[in-house]
Amino acid sequence: MADINELLNKLNEEQIKPVLDTEGAVLVIAGAGSGKTRVLTTRIAYLVLEKGVYPSEIMAITFTNKAADEMKKRLERIIDGTEYMWVSTIHSMCVRILRRDIEKIGYDKNFTVYDETDKERVLKRVITEFGYDVDKFLKQSKNYISIAKNDCLTPDAFKSEYAHLHFIDELTAIYREYDNQLMRSNSLDFDDLLLRTYQLFNDHDEVLDYYSEKFRYIHIDEFQDTNKVQFEIAKMLARKHGNIFVVGDDDQSIYGWRGAKIENILSFDKIFHGTKTYKLQRNYRSTKKILQLANCIIKNNVGRKDKELFTENSDGARVETFVGTDENNEATFAAIQIKNLMARTDLTYKDFAVFMRVNALSRAFEQEFPKYGIPYRIFGGFKFFERKEIKDALSYLKLINNPFDDEAFLRCIGVPRRGIGDKTIAELREYCVGTGLCLYEGLLHLDQTTIGTAAKTKLYNFRRLMDGLREYANRNSVPKLLKFVLDSTSFTEQFAEETEDNTSRLYNISELVNSAEQFVKDNVGATLADYLCSTSLAADTDSINEDDCVTVATIHAVKGLEFKCVFIAGLDESILPIQRSSGDENELEEERRLMYVAITRARERLYLTRANSRFMYGDRAFMRHSRFLKEAQPVLNPTAYEKEKKSGIFESKYWGDADDGFPSPDNTTSGYSSSYAKNYMNNTLKENKSANFNGYKRGIKVKHAKFGEGTVIDVKGTGENLIVDVAFKGVGIKALAVKYAPMEIING
């Protein structure tokens, strides 16, 4: 057991105060990197070691299993009796409570918890039984039922609250019957774990009394991420003793789209009268220059607690900016910077991260990083070509290219939905297995099967569709074919509802078209088979070193993590901030908090990047700089900022906007950068005496660690700035910086 004085001596003056304040409601506004986990664990230790509180009287709630495990391990090292303490996520806590008392609200304690797949199956069955359109109502009902449960709304209350919805009667009926079926199955979904606990506490005072008396001290981490039902449960648990200690940062509240309410932390002291509020503003993570930028950005939000991070760390490297000609150029800049920093520092791949607002932006990095032998992983998502919507779209191209591909057949016949059921597919498969045909060939022999008339008609229609697509493929390029497939199948209509997920999927589909256009542009005369081969290579993860690799992730996925070197990509208006936030001040402030979270993940180096043009929603569009770059100008370019203040005009040409009259860079491997980053090919390519730059000439053979053998077909630049275009068999033409590409000459 640790000595409490030793633990307290490790805290700074700001951190000690909330640790020693043990009674009543305590709110700790903990800035990024301010040591909040240490404060939480030390306070719990103080209660046990100094105040004589039994571990069984203490509850600590976190919002991820990883955070809960880390807190348990820390506590086990400093106090005894942690096995009697409740340290868990709020959902795990609710399961424990429900296992004990759920019978009081009509369930058996051996209930089943449904995952999202189970939930969808039940909803599909309910919607079908009502005779509603599954495609129209599945996603709507799934989303609204979750919203209703997180807001403690019964079906009747939901109908009253959302009376303005066009299909409110249908959605209410689905919600009610869905709940009925779950109850008949003695099952709960993920949201029910919270809602049924709230219901149990609300309807049975004796149960609530038991837990509110049992837990004299309640601790809740990441309080800015709580939704309504979570806050209601917390208030109920604290009603006996009133000892509730919450830690959070309103500036890091970024989950409003999934129900989190920033008002919970902003109004905490109004709900719990007599709340003592403390602020942790000393940052132990980042350099002074990184924090200066973070403070500069977040101060533009109105709905926040006033605070400003500071640190005793060094000033550190200046924050760099870069504007690429396009998204590939932007990704190449990151690749070159990573290789250059690793060549002259002790950084490893796992010290680097690339953050973005939407997953779709990762495609360019997934395309460029392998050129330079940079291992990477997609954190919180799939690699681009492994995402479902991408695999679904590509399945059409695969079936066009190879009609014998039964797996492609099974995928594309079901997306978008055509009303061809499992029974029909099973009958078709049975016939094809018996006759030795592939599924596509089986469509020519439907009259010899036992399939019903209506199903046969749908299968005939699918065959006619595919025949038309194959005919189109014979006389058109891959990009045109892909666009034709998407249009002919109404593929994107399944993502018509405006949700966070659908926005990301539409971005991904537009990026897929971009990848096809880029491939054909780089590989004149390339065939459909060549393109499909390149996508398969891009999806190959065998060579990725999971122990040491660059993290490529959305900002939402990396909250709570930190890296020595961070690239924030896609700093264009309509991407960050996302387009739908325009005109909505609350959503815009959440976008600004996303920017703040991304900045404060960086410890030593930070790069802000954007592109003059991007392929968006099927077209290449000129992009404008993010408003957050303008807000950052006092830190990034104080001279220009002072000039702006005097003139009242913001010099957007500083960011290389394509539509501001400022000449954009040539469409080469080099992009345009700020005064900090200039031409990166000249600025970042450092000494490398061992490279045989003079040996690279047109016609020579080379071997690349990722792409295999190829032939140099063009050479640009000289010396350490040498760029070569190499044609690789089955992969296409790749532009590579000789200094950093894992490549060698295999003949003179």
- Residues serving a catalytic function are 36-37, 221-222, 252, 601
Q: How many helices (H) and strands (E) does the chain have?
A: 30, 22
The residues with which 622 forms a beta bridge, in sequence order, are: 613
Give dist(CA 720, CA 474) in Å, integer.
44
Longest Cα separation, the chain? 86
Handedness of CA 35, 313, 376, 656 (dihedral sign): positive
Give dist(CA 96, CA 113) in Å, integer.
13
State whether residue 650 is helix, strand or coil: coil
Main-chain dihedrals φ then ψ at residue 46, nearest 5 degrees: -60, -40
Say if residues 610 and 568 touch (Cβ distance below 8 Å). no
Element (H, E) at 724: strand 723-728
- Determine if the peptide bond prior to 742 is cis (ω within 30°): no
Q: What is the DSSP string of 463-502?
A: HHHHHHHHHHHTTS-HHHHHHHHHHHTTGGGGG-S--HHH
Say if residues 81 and 48 touch (Cβ distance below 8 Å). yes
Nearest to 262 by CA among 626, 593, 727, 662: 593
State whether residue 77 is helix, strand or coil: helix
Report residue 114 CA to chain centroid gap. Answer: 24
Look at the block and give the residue holding tokens 């992969």.
731
The residues with which 209 forms a beta bridge, in sequence order, are: none
Give dist(CA 232, CA 194) in Å, integer.
10
Could you tell me which residues come within 8 angstroms of residue 255 by beta carbon, excluding any fewer than 6 positions away? 225, 556
State whether residue 602 is helix, strand or coil: strand
Nearest to 678 by CA among 318, 370, 289: 318
The amino acid sitting at 428 is: L
Say if residues 664 and 325 touch (Cβ distance below 8 Å). yes
State whether residue 62 is helix, strand or coil: strand
Count of residues in the chain: 748
